[in-house]
């Protein structure tokens, strides 16, 4: 499943990348470009712009109009529609900057590339093979896990409707 997200969905794009999905995103593409790329690369267009959604559908592009007020809510709607698993597995996770798969990297190799405190606190690291961004499951992961738990609860509600 490949997606393309409109310029308003930067945050959601990062979530989908972490969850291992291929999402093209740029806030510099206009509606016509988004529709063209979606069609050419067979990507599903994600948008919160009803007009764009209708245009895309009229041109035979797979599109999904995103409901939900919070990230957790939007993730629940996406999970329901596309059967997306709301758990992060670093084996399939993608770089939130450039949509490339991340790979494990040994601790010794990141010593000069991260803060000392991070180095002393964590042992597992991942690297984006394209842009070089280093990832680790730091303090912010508490928040990430919490949002995913909320998304799962929201999904349960949606499924009961």
Residues of this chain that interact with Zn ion (CB under 5 A) are: 95, 97-98, 100, 128, 130-131, 133
Q: How far is the CB of 130 from Zn ion (least distance, A)?
A: 5
Q: How far is the CB of 97 from Zn ion (least distance, A)?
A: 4
> Is the distance from CB of 135 to CB of 126 less than 8 angstroms?
yes
In whole angstroms, give the CA distance from residue 103 to residue 134.
10
> Is the distance from CB of 16 to CB of 78 less than 8 angstroms?
yes
Burial of 7-22, coded b for 16+ CB within 10 Å and e otherwise, reads: bebeebbbbbbbbbbb
In terms of CB distance, is 128 or 155 closer to Zn ion? Answer: 128
In terms of CB distance, is 32 or 91 closer to Zn ion? Answer: 91
In whole angstroms, give the CA distance from residue 40 to residue 155.
31
Q: How far is the CB of 58 from Zn ion (least distance, A)?
A: 34
Q: How far is the CB of 9 from Zn ion (least distance, A)?
A: 18
**41 Cβ contact partners less than 8 Å away, ≥ 6 residues apart:** 2, 4, 24
In terms of CB distance, is 91 or 131 closer to Zn ion? Answer: 131
In terms of CB distance, is 15 or 53 closer to Zn ion? Answer: 15
- Token digits for 122? 């964590």
Q: How far is the CB of 132 from Zn ion (least distance, A)?
A: 7
**Block residue for tokens 């797979």:** 62
In terms of CB distance, is 3 or 53 closer to Zn ion? Answer: 3
- The three-state secondary structure class of 156 is helix
């Amino acid at each position: 499943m490949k997606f393309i997200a409109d310029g308003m969905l930067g945050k959601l794009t990062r979530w989908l990348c972490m969850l291992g999905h291929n999402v093209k995103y740029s806030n510099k593409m206009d509606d016509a470009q988004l529709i063209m790329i979606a069609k050419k690369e067979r990507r599903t267009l994600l948008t919160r712009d009803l007009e764009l959604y209708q245009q895309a559908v009229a041109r035979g592009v797979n599109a999904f109009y995103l409901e939900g007020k919070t990230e957790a809510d939007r993730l629940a709607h996406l999970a329901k529609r596309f059967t997306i698993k709301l758990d992060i597995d670093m084996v399939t996770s993608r770089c939130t900057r450039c949509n490339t798969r991340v790979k494990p990297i040994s601790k010794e190799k990141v010593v000069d590339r991260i803060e000392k405190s991070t180095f002393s606190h964590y042992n597992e690291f991942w690297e984006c093979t394209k842009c070089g961004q280093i990832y680790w499951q730091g303090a912010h992961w508490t928040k990430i896990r919490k949002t995913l738990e909320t998304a799962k609860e929201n999904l349960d509600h949606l499924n009961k409707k």
